[in-house]
Amino acid sequence: MPLYDSSERIDVMKKYSFLLFDADNTLLDFDENERVSLLDTFEHFGLPCTEEVLKLYHEINLMYWEMLSRKEIERDELLIKRFETLFEKVGIKADPVATENRYRTNLGNGCQVMSGAMEVCRQLRKDYKLYIITNGVAKTQHNRLEKSGLADLMDDIFISDEIGYNKPDREFFEYVEKHIPGFEAKRALVIGDSLFSDIRGGVEYGLDTCYLDIYHKENSSEIQPTYEIQDIVELPALLKSTGFEG
């Protein structure tokens, strides 16, 4: 009879047990979903949608979500303001509310996944507890995660719209901790593409973090992640290289 069970030995050697994944541009390909959803929405209303318009919307949308993280705007206002601002800047006369409603439906139907993300999650769920921690509209996020198949690979899904707080708020992470059985902060890792919401939120809550730098941009901010990768497929090797420290 062996002195120890091999499966228990593997668990002891792992530094992390709880992997907290952001959704958009970490597991779900939000950029592609955004593009397809906007093209359909603008076509539906007979509005011009050039590459310049797409790029400008992306920048405006990102700006407003960062404002939401800083509590400078409410979510419902954000959803309309982004189209109001876009239309003003490009000189389009259109109804921002109707545009948002059509776009929201399209977005919720999009289930594009980051390259390699499904395979990574299938591999990791054998040895780790997997969770989604995401800002966004609950119905939209649930639809996308379910249609993509990612929801079936998760132990639980936490969405700011349902919690009442957004990343990087401490209250968001407190809720997550309270609703994960046996949670240990020292054995949890936050993985996400946003330095401001994912990484900052994790760091300020005392969690290790892994920054997914999909745009290959130099991090000149004061926010410093524990690890940094440029593709989600690098995560299993990173986890394998980390040993238990305590």
Given the residues 5, 11, 22, 169, select the one marked as catalytic.
22
Q: Does the annotation mark 31 as catalytic?
A: no
Q: How far is it, in rounded angstroms, from Cα 132 to Cα 152?
A: 11
Token pair listed for 46: 């007979």
| Cα–Cα separations (whole angstroms), residue 107 to 55, 72, 143 | 17, 24, 9
The closest of 27, 167, 181 to 158, measured between CA atoms, is: 167
DSSP symbols for 59-92? HHHHHHHHHHHTTSS-HHHHHHHHHHHHHHHHT-
Strands of the sheet with 18-21, listed across from one edge = 156-159, 129-134, 18-21, 188-192, 208-212, 227-229
Which residues are tagged catalytic? 22
